[in-house]
Amino acid sequence: MSEALRTGAVIGILGGGQLGRMLAVAAARLGLRAHVFDPDPAAPARDVAAAATCAGWDDAAALARFAAAVDVVTYEFENIPLSVIDTVAPLRPVMPGRRALATAQDRVAEKSFLNAAGLATAPWAEVGSRADLDLAIARIGLPAILKTARMGYDGKGQVRINAPAEADAALAALGGAHAILEGVVDFLAEVSVIAARSADGRVAAFDPGENVHEGGILRRTTVPAPALSAARRTDAVLIAARILGALDYVGVIGVELFVTRAGLLVNEIAPRVHNSGHWTQNGCAVDQFEQHIRAIAGWPLGDGSRHSDVVMENLIGEDMARVPELAATPGAALHLYGKAEVRAGRKMGHVNRVRPRG
């Protein structure tokens, strides 16, 4: 730990949403300070950060000042422009690195990387034109999902195609963006692995969680994952470890997987702490946020073994009306993000329901 960041060192966090907020708290728990960069003056992470910069992603001078004020830079979401990394990286270490970010930002790059690493995915094809789409449908079959290659999240930028006649409308719905067609997977369950890799190449994974999405947004994560046998749990962790190694990754990654009768398929990777890892806050001695800070600060990875079973449920939009009831529920640990404005589909907080380990 000779090069580890020590008390008072500053973690620069690009993005000040709820993930940045929980990263800032984790940094403080290790005696480190957080400096958040976000264009939004009401970014939730500001309330718990030692310092904050409010400026646009295209403000190179502000980014340079931010970099000069911190010891290491990380990010809380994968849709920051790569130009931001290119501005900051010559000045300070950025972890995870540019390659992980670039891979996760583009579904074509992501699927290509995964397949090249020997990992199975849904069948897919790049779609740059109407002719591409016809070929892709012929090869993959229907139903399939047409997705923008870039900047998708929480189910946005996706159109399902059930019949060839819907192809034109689907392309139009994406506004001509560079796209990918993905075969619909007949999965038994969706699971995710939250794993971490340190700069010296050690890997630690939390127990996989089983996820339920509604309307494209994560609704619930259950740990341990009922759909996973012990052998499949090991498979899931090994897949995450292979991805971390192939990307020479430092930090926490979220790997979403489909469980099918034939085995596990990788759905997507998120080069950051992940909503499906929030259960670790009440299930482990060291949670995903601290694990990420440890990795990028050069600390040893912490003990992420599960001491309790947890069901994490997101509080989305009007779910906030349930807070008084949840606050009085035995075993319920609330985590609210301090967002003033309640909007439909907006992640406002989450609740971890904790039970003794079964």
- Taking residues 302 to 321 in sequence order and writing x for each that binds a second copy by CB under 8 A, - otherwise, the string is xx-x-xx-----------x-
Q: Minimum CB separation from a second copy for residue 310, in Å? A: 10
Task: Report the alpha-carbon distance of residue 263 to residue 296 in Å, rounded.
Answer: 32
Judged by CB under 8 A, which of 98, 139, 156, 357 binds a second copy?
357
Task: Report the alpha-carbon distance of residue 317 to residue 294 in Å, rounded.
Answer: 32
Task: Report the alpha-carbon distance of residue 251 to residue 232 in Å, rounded.
Answer: 24
Nearer to a second copy, 22 or 243 (CB): 22
Stretch that binds a second copy, among 17-25, 152-160, 161-169, 189-197 (CB under 8 A): 17-25
User: Which residues, including other chains, have CB under 8 Å from residue 69's CB and lie 6 or more apart?
Assistant: 10, 12, 35, 51
- Taking residues 47 to 66 in sequence order and writing x for each that binds a second copy by CB under 8 A, - otherwise, the string is xxxx----------------
What is the enclosing helix (H) or strand (E) of 354?
strand 347-356
**Total residue count of the chain as it appears in this document:** 358
Nearer to a second copy, 186 or 341 (CB): 341
Please give the C-alpha separations between residue 324 and each of 92, 219, 332, in angstroms, as whole numbers. 44, 19, 12
Site for a second copy in 285-304 (CB under 8 A): 285-286, 294, 299-300, 302-303
Q: Does 167 bind a second copy (CB under 8 A)?
A: no
Nearer to a second copy, 31 or 164 (CB): 31
Judged by CB under 8 A, which of 33, 220, 232, 274 binds a second copy?
33
Q: Does 236 bind a second copy (CB under 8 A)?
A: no
* Total residues interacting with a second copy, rule: CB under 8 A: 51
Judged by CB under 8 A, which of 11, 32, 191, 295 binds a second copy?
32
* Bond prior to 143 in cis (omega within 30° of 0): yes
Q: Does 208 bind a second copy (CB under 8 A)?
A: no
Bridge partner residues of 312 (DSSP): 221, 352
Q: In this structure, what token pair is assigned to residue 277?
A: 């890892």
**β strands within 163-297, DSSP E:** 179-183, 189-197, 203-205, 209-214, 217-223, 251-260, 263-270
> Which positions touch a second copy (CB under 8 A)?
1, 4, 7-8, 21, 24-25, 28-34, 46-50, 282, 285-286, 294, 299-300, 302-303, 305, 307-308, 320, 324, 327-340, 349, 352, 354, 356-357
